[in-house]
Structure 1
Amino acid sequence: MANHHDHDEHPQDLNLLEEMNYETRDFDVDQAPKGTVWFFAVTTGFFILAFISLIFMGPDFIPWFRDGKFQTVNQPDVRRRMPEAPAPLLQSNITAKKDTVDLRKKEADKLATYGWANKEKTAAKIPVEEAMNMVAAQGKLPRWAPIAPASTTPAENRTPATR
């Protein structure tokens, strides 16, 4: 029995493989540590450059600059100003949802509660459902309702089968 650790059973002719344009090795293992070091060095360098560029852009870009740490002598204390009275404030997602909830509560309050419609207390407001039931009980039609056709006698209303 041959010892397979000492020699190959089918030795490769490297010159023949190179002549046929085969690569003898896909990856240069000796260069892997060097490439890894270069990758992390370049990445760290880019992070340092990004941090320095943020410092020069101003304190509003980095949160801990706003707290007073790392303030430079030449840098003025920059704060965001609130817009003046006629300018509207932009809403965040949370305030928009809260405003919508408040609006729905006010709408429900107006539509479903009793109260006075004016300051003189000469007109009252009632819930919409109750007002609709009262008008329907009186038999009044709204102004926009179509006009009903004139009533006809039963003889004119007969279907073709009963004629």
Structure 2
Amino acid sequence: MTGGDRQSALVNADSFWFTYTLSSIAAIIAETVTYPLDLTKTRLQIQGEKHVGGHNVAGQKRGMVKTIVGIGSEEGAIKLFQGLTPALYRHLLYTGCRISFYEIIREKILKKNSDGSFPVWKSSLGGLTAGAMGQFIASPTDLVKVQMQMEGRRRLEGKPPR
């Protein structure tokens, strides 16, 4: 690789789209692996709500392990990934935007000190701003994800899908 080729590769590695793509791919892999735990968390959060007849679908509160095993046995193992698509879209938007926005805010707006350091207050402000912007963009996908996560429960209760 010549000097010019190396310089071109470095410029591309620092580009918005490179950062966006790489951070989004990493987040999508992580979300896919941990998604059954997210579904379980959502189900656990709402298990205490009253239902028709005043009891839960299983008739008792479940812990994490019983909830995940119950979803697999009562609804089918594939249902452990119900709602994964909007979760992946969320990470495609949220993580890609958040990481990329942070880089832009850090380099173009807040800028490093003359000695090359980047103070904690600037990092905090940049992270807060980038996270808020990413969450604002990705919020609708969270709503869709939770609705899809609850679909299996509605069916077990005999309710029509939404």
TM-score for the superposition, normalised by structure 2: 0.22
Structure showing the higher helix proportion among its residues: 2
TM-score for the superposition, normalised by structure 1: 0.22
- Bigger CA radius of gyration: 1
Higher relative contact order (CA 8 A, sep 6+): 2
